[in-house]
Amino acid sequence: MTTSAVEIEVPNAESITVTDDTLSVDLSDGRTISVPLAWFPRLVHATQQERSHWRLIGEGQGIHWEDIDEDVSVEGLLAGKPSGESQASFKKWLNHRSSRLTT
């Protein structure tokens, strides 16, 4: 029996929308993918202004939020992968963020 690998071309992100509970990404192939914002704790804790300050990276293969140092890949979204950040890393970021916001 012969098997062959199927090559899948990942579409690019063209625009995004972030609400209080959803991250939606418009893709170059006409689809829109929406995932729970809870998948990305840094986005959950970001202000609306921080959430709206994003840019496409890798010609649309990912999205970067400079203010909160968050990157999300289109491939990861399509695969259904939430943030891979460890709890220790997130806690450190959250503590740093809290101390920065109170000073």
Q: Please write the tens of the pLDDT for every residue from 25-71.
A: 999 999 999 999 999 999 999 999 999 999 999 999 999 999 999 99
CA-closest candidate to residue 75, choices 47, 22, 35, 103: 35
Its CATH architecture, for the domain 13-102, is: 2-Layer Sandwich (3.30)
Mean pLDDT of 7-27: 94
Q: Looking at residue 2, what is its pLDDT?
A: 65
Q: Domain residue spans in the chain?
A: 13-102
Question: The tokens of 101 are what?
Answer: 């916001």
- By the 10 Å C-beta count (0-12 exposed, 13-18 middle, 19+ buried), 6 is classed as exposed
pLDDT more than 90, % of the chain: 83
Q: What are the φ/ψ torsions at residue 54 (nearest 5 degrees)? A: -125, 165
Using CA atoms, how far residue 96 sits from 45, 68, 103, in Å, is 13, 11, 11
Higher pLDDT pick, 99 / 37? 37
Q: Model-level pTM?
A: 0.86
Task: Give the chain's length.
Answer: 103
Report d(CA 77, CA 83) in Å as an integer: 10
CA angle at 42 for the pair 40 and 48, rounded to the nearest 5° = 105
